[in-house]
Amino acid sequence: MRNAGRSAATILDRLCRMVRPGMSTLEIDEAGGEMMRDFRVKSACKGYRSGNRVFPSFTCLSINDEVVHGIGMPDRILKDGDVLSVDVCIRENGVIGDNCRTIPVGTVSPEIERLLKITEESLYLGISQALHKKRVGDVSQAVQEYVEGAGFAVITNFVGHGVGRTLHEEPQIPNFGNAGTGPQFRKGMAICIEPMVNMKSPQIRMAKDGWTALAVDGMPSAHFEHTLLVDEDKPEILTIPEGEGEADEYINSKLAGLAA
Ligand code: MF3
Ligand code: CO
């Protein structure tokens, strides 16, 4: 899972660095598919089944009010001031690495910048609770309090999850709830924490394509996710790109950057 996490994070990082106004989400998705080939890993999104529907693209690319599970399309062109959520979820040697980031395309308004910063910070706050013998609700409450304290809305229709040989395993990890409740974490458990945050309303609706979730308020939405391993005194983030050093250095530099 360390290898799968590193591959997923490196692909996500490279894709995010490519994003420019004028690109289509299909171009980004195809680049993602090529990187997966180069890394000799498989997309865990393409071919993912829900009911009788099969997810068609290598990655999930969700623009602005698209919350999650957007499909790469030739006619979805990014423009300056948009935000794009890039969700990369792969299988390597039979196990999954899953991670997501929402990035600005060109220059975004200060309020959108704040949405991205608060959502990313809420992810790290949640991660800091994922310790041996703590409970799922400790993560949930940390995320919810921070997001709502900043005046934004946590989405309740989608949750984080256990992860391993399959993408979605027990336990579910909601981004809302009460500390001290829910299943207990154990050293060695692999989980995905993934706050999804709207600006005004937590409500979402399904787009006509049957996959893309849209924010009902029509405003930009943010999503940050890491795969991590529960441990006793600090969690081990698995989705750190190649060359970014140890998990602690990475998380410290992230938090310092976010505080600035
Ligand atoms: N990271 C997403 C999740 O955990 C990946 C979904 S794959 C899709 O739900 F096929 F459903 F898009
Ligand atoms: Co996930």
Residue nearest atom 10 of ligand 1, based on CA coordinates: 45
Report which DSSP code applies to 251.
H
Tell whether ligand 1 has an atom less than 6 A from the beta carbon of residue 89: yes
Quick check: 99 and 239 in contact, CB under 8 A? yes
Give the ligand 1 atom nearest the CA of 98. Answer: 1
Model confidence pLDDT, tens digit, residues 200-256: 999 999 999 999 999 999 999 999 999 999 999 999 999 999 988 777 788 777 777
pTM of the complete model beyond 0.75: yes
Measured in angstroms, how far is the CA atom of residue 50 from the centroid of ligand 2? 15
Tell whether ligand 1 has an atom less than 6 A from the beta carbon of residue 12: no
Question: Residue 136: which CATH number?
Answer: 3.90.230.10
**Which of 167, 170, 225 should be mutated for ligand 1, with most atoms under 8 A from CB?**
167
Q: Take residue 16 and report the two structure tokens written for it.
A: 């995010």
Query: Residue 149 burial by CB count (10 A; 0-12/13-18/19+): exposed, middle or buried?
Result: exposed
Specify the pLDDT at position 260: 67
Exposure string (b/e) for 88-107, b if CB count within 10 Å is 16 or more?
A: bbbbbeebbbbbbbbbbbee
Tell whether ligand 1 has an atom less than 6 A from the beta carbon of residue 45: yes
Quick check: 197 and 118 in contact, CB under 8 A? yes
Q: Which domain holds residue 116?
A: 2-259
Domain count, the chain: 1
**Which of 60, 62, 123, 239 should be mutated for ligand 1, with most atoms under 8 A from CB?**
60
Quick check: 237 and 130 in contact, CB under 8 A? no
Q: Take residue 226 and report the two structure tokens written for it.
A: 């890491």
Q: Which phi and psi angles does 88 have, rounded to 5°?
A: -115, 120
**Residues of the chain scoring pLDDT < 70:** 260
Tell whether ligand 1 has an atom less than 6 A from the beta carbon of residue 19: no
CA separation for the pair 93, 100 (Å, rounded): 21
Specify the pLDDT at position 235: 93
Decide the pairing of beta strands 226-229 and 236-237. antiparallel
Tell whether ligand 1 has an atom less than 6 A from the beta carbon of residue 98: yes
Judged by its nearest atom, the ligand closest to the C-alpha of residue 194 is 2
Give the ligand 1 atom nearest the CA of 168. Answer: 4
Specify the pLDDT at position 258: 77
Specify the pLDDT at position 16: 98
Side-chain half-sphere CA neighbours of 191 within 13 A? 32
Side-chain half-sphere CA neighbours of 23 within 13 A? 22
Tell whether ligand 1 has an atom less than 6 A from the beta carbon of residue 29: no
Pick from 60, 102, 106, 63: nearest CA to 81 = 106
Q: CB pairs under 8 A, 24+ apart, for 108-112?
A: 108/81, 108/82, 108/83, 109/81, 111/199, 112/83, 112/220
Specify the pLDDT at position 139: 98
Phi-psi region of 132 (alpha: psi -120 to 50; beta: other; left: phi over 0): beta
